Amino acid sequence: MKNTPALSELLDECRDSTPEWTPVYDAFVAKLRRGAVAENAPKVGERFLDFAIPDALGRYRSLTELVSDGPIVLSFNRGGWCPFCHGELSAWGERVDALAAAGGRFVTITGEVGGRAERLRDLIGPDASILCDIDHGLALSVGLAFHCDADLQQRYRACGLDLADIYGGPGWILPVPATFVIDREQTVRFAFADPDFRVRAEPDDVIAVVAGLG
């Protein structure tokens, strides 16, 4: 594997570039933790919910199909508009070859519409699967979605971010970024879901889990 920076370094750069947002996000994340957001997300040893949702080209893909050739890394993200998701997906783009060598494939899920999901391919490469979670239905089903409160809505709008347009609906629902390793039997072998979207699983750690399944 070529020498690439740890994801945590990229995320630190994101934080440092917008220090004015730190107290806003700290308060928001604290509110999510008080509400036990993501505490019911799939855990290691559990069977992941079977699903069938469209990919970025409109073709329906099921979990059964996705794991038929071996384990997958399933990554829920907020979308390319989020600098932390952008950093995470860029980090995975640098490591997809290592993941393939370990026997796994990368699958990312976003609620973005209007062709935005397909643009993520520029970050993660041509071989990744990009799925579109319309109205965050799958994220809601597995405990990885929440309503964005009025204060954060107002702040995002002031920055020119209209999540209703980005996600194609007025619900102002956001997903919790999360990473899972799911084996052929659809069993979760690694799980990382933190309401603090500024913290993500390190790809190298996830790849090590995939390699251990061989």
pTM for this structure?
0.94
Give a yes or no: residue 1 inside a domain. no
The range of the structural domain enclosing residue 172 comes to 7-212
Per-residue burial over 103-114, b if 16 or more Cβ lie within 10 Å, else e, is: ebbbbbbbbbbe
Q: Could you tell me which residues are beta bridge partners of residue 192?
A: 179
Strands (E), the chain: 52-54, 60-62, 72-76, 105-110, 129-132, 145-147, 173-175, 178-182, 188-193
Give a yes or no: residue 61 inside a domain. yes
- What's the pLDDT at 3? 63
CA-nearest of 164, 160, 82, 177 to 123 is 82
Give a yes or no: residue 100 inside a domain. yes
DSSP SS3 for 165: helix
Give a yes or no: residue 2 inside a domain. no
- What's the pLDDT at 1? 45
Give a yes or no: residue 64 inside a domain. yes
Over its length of 214 residues, how does the chain's per-residue pLDDT go in tens digits? 456 779 999 999 999 999 999 999 999 999 999 999 999 999 999 999 999 999 988 999 999 999 999 999 999 999 999 999 999 999 999 999 999 999 999 999 999 988 899 899 989 988 889 999 999 999 999 999 999 988 999 999 999 999 989 999 888 899 999 999 999 999 999 999 999 999 999 999 999 999 999 7
Token code pair at residue 187: 């069993």
Give a yes or no: residue 29 inside a domain. yes
The answer to whether the beta carbons of residues 206 and 181 sit under 8 Å apart is: yes
Q: What DSSP string describes 17-52? A: H-GGGHHHHHHHHHHHHHTTTTTTS--TTSBPPP-E
- What's the pLDDT at 22? 95
Give the pairing type, strands 145-147 and 52-54: unpaired
181: exposed, middle or buried (C-beta count within 10 Å: 0-12, 13-18, 19+)? buried
Question: What is the total count of domains within the chain?
Answer: 1
- What's the pLDDT at 29? 95
DSSP H stretches of helix in 102-190 = 116-119, 121-124, 137-141, 150-158, 163-167
CATH number at residue 18: 3.40.30.10
